[in-house]
């Protein structure tokens, strides 16, 4: 994939923005994608990014190839971080790597696991990266004296990044935008960390302070926007995640199979057990695809979920581990149907994978709460169908439509709607929010419709 050509540029003099992000190449996974691509395109809209990140992060997995997407000349400031994950490993009684994104996702682990999760939720506030806050503020205050910027962005989780932004904003008066890729206390797994009343109070107090003190707050979905506005009593903007166009391989391995693919993280508490049963039944009654159908999982998927799908009667279930993003994109082209799984009871979760799915122009089957943001996006772009976690009839109708599209070739999503979610178009919107909070702007702060 080629880097952005030297932009449309609007002015030889760009404003400077300091982006505080824990996730940055060589990190892989979804957390790195949003601001990696905003940084790629910000120069086109009058902003020169400077990135502050960790030198030795505890990442779910690595994808060094993403470093090639960072535009030439972008300044990257790295500082070492101490994180307590070695302690978590000892307390859990397990060796090997811990995926911080699923540390509290449940499962058996005995008293050691329970203690590790309790410490995570009650002592490490807002998260295990809290030890990086003070050193980072000192480092960046020193940096900013010699290298001033026009705006600061913090992106979380981890929400410790917001506390760095908060302290810098208080010390310098530089406008600060807080970007919530996920909610804080309203995230669906917050209770799984078992916070006591004091910890809950501390989390909420810090969250309220961030929301009220930031010059602007932005999040990724309408339901997340609503939740943050209710907490803070202020306007919150929406800039969704998006997709970066990627090239279809010259040869896509196909064979005779009909493949439904799920890509990303999937924990046991999101396992759509009823869907596997309905899917197995619908595949079995279709003689044309019965022996050719394959369900493929790629990523950090609880091993019990593919086992559950097999137990439901699906004959061919494959689970591949997380892989570099470029290789994953090749695998996506091989799929016939793309599966999206949300979170029961949480309509605001819109995984970044949805937008990459949109770019492929393949039918998307979503298991998410009715009325969810994901369902709304699919409907507006005519890009797929959604059914609730307990809606067996809706699942059957969804599969009837999907298999009908495959048989007839009649699937035709709305190209213009999908294009609105390109990373470049979304960067223009984010740049508009930065323009609105910096001195001299005539745009005002109310940019809720981004």
Dump pLDDT digits (tens) for 250-263.
777 777 899 999 99
Q: What is the DSSP letter of 346?
A: B
Residue 47: CA count within 13 A, CB half-sphere: 28
Going from the C-alpha of 2 to that of each of 31, 114, 119, 254, 264, the distances in angstroms are 22, 46, 44, 27, 24
- d(CA 157, CA 185) in angstroms, rounded, equals 11
pLDDT at 86: 61
Domains of the chain: which residue ranges? Answer: 15-242+423-437, 258-418
Q: How many residues does the chain have?
A: 450
197 class by beta-carbon count within 10 Å (0-12 exposed, 13-18 middle, 19+ buried): exposed
Pick 258-418's CATH classification: 3.20.20.70, 3.30.830.10, 3.40.50.2000, 3.40.50.80. Answer: 3.40.50.2000
* Neighbour count for residue 288 (Cβ, 10 Å): 11
CATH architecture of the domain formed by 15-242+423-437: 3-Layer(aba) Sandwich (3.40)
pTM over 0.85: no
- d(CA 355, CA 241) in angstroms, rounded, equals 7
pLDDT at 130: 93
| pLDDT tens series, the chain, 450 aa | 233 334 444 445 889 999 999 999 999 888 899 999 999 999 999 999 999 999 988 887 788 889 999 999 999 999 999 888 666 655 555 555 555 444 444 444 567 777 778 888 888 899 999 999 999 999 999 999 999 999 999 999 999 999 999 999 999 999 999 999 999 998 878 888 888 899 899 999 999 999 999 999 999 999 999 999 999 999 999 999 999 998 888 777 777 899 999 999 999 999 999 999 999 999 999 999 999 999 999 999 999 999 999 999 999 999 999 888 889 999 999 999 999 999 998 898 888 899 999 999 999 999 999 999 999 999 999 999 999 999 999 999 999 999 999 999 889 999 999 999 999 999 999 999 999 999 764 433 433 443
Do the Cβ atoms of 237 and 214 come closer than 8 Å?
no
């Amino acid at each position: 994939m080629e880097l952005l050509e030297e932009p449309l540029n609007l002015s030889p003099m760009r404003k400077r923005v300091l982006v505080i992000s824990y996730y940055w190449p060589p990190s892989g996974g979804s957390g790195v994608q949003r601001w990696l691509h905003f940084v790629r395109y910000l120069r086109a809209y009058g902003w020169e990014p400077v990135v502050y990140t960790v030198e030795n992060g505890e990442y779910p997995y690595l994808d060094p190839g993403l470093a090639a997407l960072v535009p030439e000349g972008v300044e990257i400031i790295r500082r070492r971080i101490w994180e307590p994950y070695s302690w978590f490993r000892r307390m859990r009684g397990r060796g090997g790597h811990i995926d911080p994104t699923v540390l509290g996702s449940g499962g058996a682990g005995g008293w050691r696991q329970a203690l590790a999760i309790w410490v995570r939720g009650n002592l490490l506030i807002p998260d295990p990266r809290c030890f990086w806050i003070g050193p980072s503020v000192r480092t960046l205050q020193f940096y900013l004296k010699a290298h001033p910027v026009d705006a600061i962005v913090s992106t979380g989780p981890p929400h410790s990044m917001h506390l760095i932004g908060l302290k810098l904003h208080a010390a310098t008066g530089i406008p600060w935008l807080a970007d919530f890729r996920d909610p804080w206390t309203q995230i669906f797994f917050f209770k799984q960390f078992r916070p006591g009343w004091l910890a809950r109070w501390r989390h909420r107090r810090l969250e309220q302070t961030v929301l009220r003190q930031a010059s602007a707050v932005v999040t990724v979905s309408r339901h997340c926007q609503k939740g943050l506005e209710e907490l803070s009593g202020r306007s919150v903007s929406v800039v969704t995640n998006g997709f970066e166009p990627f090239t279809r391989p010259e040869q896509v391995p196909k064979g005779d199979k009909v493949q439904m693919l799920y890509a990303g993280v999937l924990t046991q508490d999101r396992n759509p057990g009823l869907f596997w049963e309905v899917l197995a039944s619908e595949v079995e009654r279709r003689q044309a695809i019965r022996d050719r159908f394959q369900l493929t999982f790629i990523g950090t998927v609880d091993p019990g979920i593919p086992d559950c799908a097999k137990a439901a009667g699906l004959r061919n279930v494959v689970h591949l581990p997380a892989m570099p993003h470029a290789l994953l994109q090749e695998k996506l082209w091989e799929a016939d149907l793309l599966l999206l799984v949300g979170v029961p009871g949480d309509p605001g979760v819109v995984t970044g994978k949805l937008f990459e799915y949109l770019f492929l122009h393949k039918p998307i089957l979503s298991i998410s709460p009715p009325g969810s943001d994901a369902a709304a996006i699919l409907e507006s772009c005519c890009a797929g169908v959604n059914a609730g976690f307990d809606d067996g009839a809706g699942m059957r109708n969804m599969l009837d439509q999907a298999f009908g599209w495959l048989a007839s070739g009649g699937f035709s999503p709305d190209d213009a709607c999908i294009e609105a979610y390109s990373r470049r178009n979304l960067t223009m919107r984010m740049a508009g929010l930065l323009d609105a909070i910096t001195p001299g702007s005539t745009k005002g702060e109310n940019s809720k419709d981004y």
